[in-house]
């Protein structure tokens, strides 16, 4: 009898699952059953399908959080409720160990969350393999259907990488030693006459480990989205005091009177404020704005990842909003799930605009999280350090579409996808060797798995198919090479 019930339950559920409010139909089905064994059978059949689709179980804009286990109470705490363990209690299906909570989100939302068992036991969602690492450890990640995972944060094994120098500097202003990591772009040592723009990162070591900043910079340089830059990653000793508390002004002077001269004297920097950026997250944004506003002759660029301006009765915020206009270019990114910060940033941007500042900003349906900041470091970098046009002959600009590698389609794919590229007459006229074209596919470790093109080609548009029937799911890279020109893109095989 149980076998027949289970078969019927699976059939009924699979027929209605992808219809509108399929999850509610499942709940109604379980609630209509009185026998606990039958209830468990229907729950088991649902879990089989839900795990295949992914949990949280998402239907259009509705995310259904699910927990299967014995507990007295369980709640969902995350970016969307201020991490309040009592705000969103999960519901239990009577006579089962199935718990759920449903909430509507924007279709492109991305949020951190955890489950809280019995009021104080914080755990990751055991049914969700997707996590995001933050300053206090990992959280589970909810990514709604239209959220696009950032390709640029991934390590790309088939491109050139910059080098990292680890060093330190003693500050007489604070009487402490600060640890530094200096990123030098690919080819830095090949041209001693070259000079580079510089980006200074607050919470620098976290921007590397949690924000994937080195991967982002490598990928953007390789993709010709930004020009090569030097990046200075500064580790605070006491971030609250240095970024927002009693040491903030000593730290500001350390930055402009000790750190910047040290970097300029040690590396091939462009010593122009319009080519020098200071940026940070949260309180790191607060100190970055303080440094830039007081010293626009040093830092003419300022980047804010969810700038937290509340310290010292909004000292930095009021200084900029009510003060004179300085020669600073701004970029800000924040999440709509960041509480009072959202209103502050709206007014801050309105003030920048009214004063005539050059600025850009972006608000996304996310929270106060490294998931937001790392995914938008590319936008900020491209705004401040756009790639310069290539010169091909006596000042003639290289047209942008002369050598083009396009994103594969579909992506993700299973098991085949199409890769397109184009070569123009201008390139082959000036560089005949570009007629020899290589298109190769590599796995995440940098091992070549396929060569799709290896021949001389004439001017035109091309498309080749990559059949991954013999390969396992995962991230792959495809690289187009023609002479000294290279382009690399990421694709995902999902089975």
Supply the pLDDT for residue 402: 58
What percent of the chain is predicted at pLDDT more than 70? Answer: 90
96 exposed, middle or buried (CB, 10 Å; 0-12, 13-18, 19+)? middle
The lowest-confidence range among 65-74, 195-204, 260-269, 380-389 is 380-389
Q: Who has greater pLDDT, 483 or 188?
A: 188
State the residue for tokens 């190769």. 440
pLDDT of residue 245: 97
Rounded average pLDDT over 15-34: 76
Q: Taking the model in full, what pTM does it have?
A: 0.79
Residues near 1 by beta carbon (within 8 Å), at least 6 away in sequence: none
Q: Does domain 151-384 have CATH number 3.40.50.1820?
A: yes
275-304, pLDDT tens digit by residue?
Answer: 999 999 999 999 999 999 999 999 999 999
Looking at the predicted structure, is the pLDDT value of residue 7 above 60? Answer: no
Percent of the chain with pLDDT over 90: 72
Position with higher pLDDT, 19 vs 110? 110
pLDDT score at 446: 80
Statement: residue 407 has pLDDT above 80: yes
Give 112-148 pLDDT, tens digit per residue.
999 999 999 999 999 999 999 988 899 999 999 999 8
Quote the pLDDT of residue 390.
Answer: 46
pLDDT at 435: 65
pLDDT category of residue 11 using cuts at 50, 70 and 90: very low
Confidence of residue 10 (pLDDT cuts 50, 70, 90): very low
pLDDT in tens, 84-97: 999 999 999 999 99
**The pLDDT value given to residue 408:** 86
CATH class of domain segment(s) 391-493: mainly beta
Show the 3-state SS of the chain: CHHHHHHHHHHHHHHHCCCCCHHHHHHHHHHCCCCHHHHHHHHHHHHHHHHHHCCCEEECCEEEEEEECCCCCEEEEEHHHCCCCCCCECEECCCCCEEEEEEECCCCCEEEEEEEECCCEEECCCCCCCEEEECCEEEEEEECCCCCCCHHHCCCCCCCCCEEEEEEEEECCCCEEEEEEEEECCCHHHCCCCCEEEEEECCHHHHHHCCCHHHHHHHHHHCCCECCEEEEEECCCCHHHHHCCCCHHHHHHHHHHHHHHHHHHHCCECCCHHHEEEEEECHHHHHHHHHHHHCCCCCCEEEEECCCCCHHHHHHHHHHHHCCCCCCEEEEEEECCCCHHHHHHHHHHHHHHHHCCEEEEEEECCCCCHHHHHHCHHHHHHHHCECCCCEEECCEECCCCCEEECCCECCCECCEEEEEEEECHHHHHHCHHHHEEEEEEEECCCCEEEEEEEEECCCEEEEEEEECCCCCCEEEEEEEEECCEEEEEEEEECC
In angstroms, rounded to a whole number, what is the distance separating the alpha carbons of residues 145 and 123? Answer: 24
Instruction: Give the model's confidence band at 494: pLDDT under 50 very low, under 70 low, under 90 confident, else very high.
Output: confident
What is the pLDDT averaged over residues 46-74?
95
pLDDT of residue 21: 61
Q: Which residue has the higher pLDDT, 209 or 408?
A: 209
Of the candidates 109, 107, 88, which has an alpha carbon nearest to the alpha carbon of residue 99?
88
Q: Where are the domains of the chain?
A: 2-142, 151-384, 391-493
**Rounded to an integer, what distance in angstroms lies between the CA atom of residue 279 and that of residue 143?**
26
* pLDDT-derived band at 484, boundaries 50, 70, 90: low
Confidence of residue 429 (pLDDT cuts 50, 70, 90): low
Structure confidence at residue 412 (pLDDT): 84
> What is the pLDDT at residue 490?
87
Taking a C-beta distance cutoff of 8 angstroms, is the pair 164, 214 a contact? yes
Q: Could you please state the CATH topology (level 3) that the domain comprising 2-142 is classified under.
A: Immunoglobulin-like (2.60.40)
Q: What is the pLDDT of residue 132?
A: 93
Residue 392 has pLDDT above 80, yes or no: no
Least-confidence region, from 45-49, 247-251, 334-338, 454-458:
454-458
CATH topology agreement for domains 151-384 and 391-493:
no
Predicted confidence band of residue 424 (pLDDT cuts 50, 70, 90)? low
């Amino acid at each position: 009898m149980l076998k027949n019930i289970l078969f019927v339950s699976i059939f009924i559920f699979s027929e209605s699952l992808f219809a509108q409010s399929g999850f509610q139909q499942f709940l109604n089905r379980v609630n209509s059953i009185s026998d606990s064994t039958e209830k468990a059978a229907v729950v088991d059949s649902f879990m089989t399908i839900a795990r295949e689709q992914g949990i949280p179980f998402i239907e259009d804009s509705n995310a259904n959080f699910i927990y299967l286990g014995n507990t007295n109470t369980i709640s969902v705490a995350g970016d969307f409720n201020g991490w309040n363990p009592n705000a969103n209690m999960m519901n239990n299906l009577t006579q089962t160990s199935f718990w759920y909570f449903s909430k509507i989100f924007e279709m492109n939302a991305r949020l951190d969350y955890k489950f809280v068992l019995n009021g104080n036991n914080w755990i990751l969602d055991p049914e969700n393999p997707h996590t995001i690492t933050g300053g206090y450890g990992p959280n589970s990640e909810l990514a709604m259907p239209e959220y696009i995972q950032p390709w640029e944060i991934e390590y790309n094994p088939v491109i050139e990488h910059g080098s990292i120098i680890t060093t330190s500097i003693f500050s007489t202003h604070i009487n402490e030693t600060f640890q530094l990591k200096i990123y030098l772009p690919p080819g830095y040592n090949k041209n001693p006459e070259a000079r580079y723009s510089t980006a200074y990162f607050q919470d620098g070591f976290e921007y590397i480990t949690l924000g994937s900043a080195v991967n982002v910079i490598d990928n953007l340089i390789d993709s010709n989205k930004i020009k090569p830059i030097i990046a200075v990653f500064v580790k605070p000793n006491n971030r609250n005091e240095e970024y927002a508390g009693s040491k903030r002004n000593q730290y500001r002077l350390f930055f402009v009177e000790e750190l910047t001269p040290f970097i300029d004297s040690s590396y091939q920097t462009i010593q122009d404020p319009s080519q020098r950026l200071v940026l940070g997250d949260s309180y790191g944004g607060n100190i970055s704005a303080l440094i830039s506003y007081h010293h626009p002759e040093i830092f003419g660029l300022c980047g804010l990842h969810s700038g937290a301006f509340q310290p010292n009765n909004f000292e930095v915020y009021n200084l900029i909003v009510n003060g004179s206009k300085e020669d600073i270019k701004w970029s800000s990114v924040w999440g709509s799930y960041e509480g009072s910060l959202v209103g502050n940033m709206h007014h801050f941007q309105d003030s920048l605009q009214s004063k005539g500042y050059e600025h850009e900003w972006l608000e996304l349906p996310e929270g106060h999280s490294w998931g937001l900041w790392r995914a938008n470091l590319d936008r900020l970098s491209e705004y401040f350090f756009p790639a310069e046009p290539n010169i091909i002959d006596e000042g003639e600009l290289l047209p942008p579409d002369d050598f083009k590698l396009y994103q594969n389609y579909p992506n993700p794919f299973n098991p085949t996808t199409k890769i397109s590229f184009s070569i123009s007459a201008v390139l082959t006229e000036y560089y005949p060797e570009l007629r020899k074209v290589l298109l190769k596919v590599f796995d995440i470790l940098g091992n070549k798995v396929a060569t799709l093109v290896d021949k001389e080609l004439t001017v035109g548009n091309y498309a080749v198919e990559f059949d991954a029937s013999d390969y396992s799911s995962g991230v792959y890279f495809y690289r187009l090479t023609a002479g000294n020109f290279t382009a690399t893109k990421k694709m995902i095989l999902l089975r």
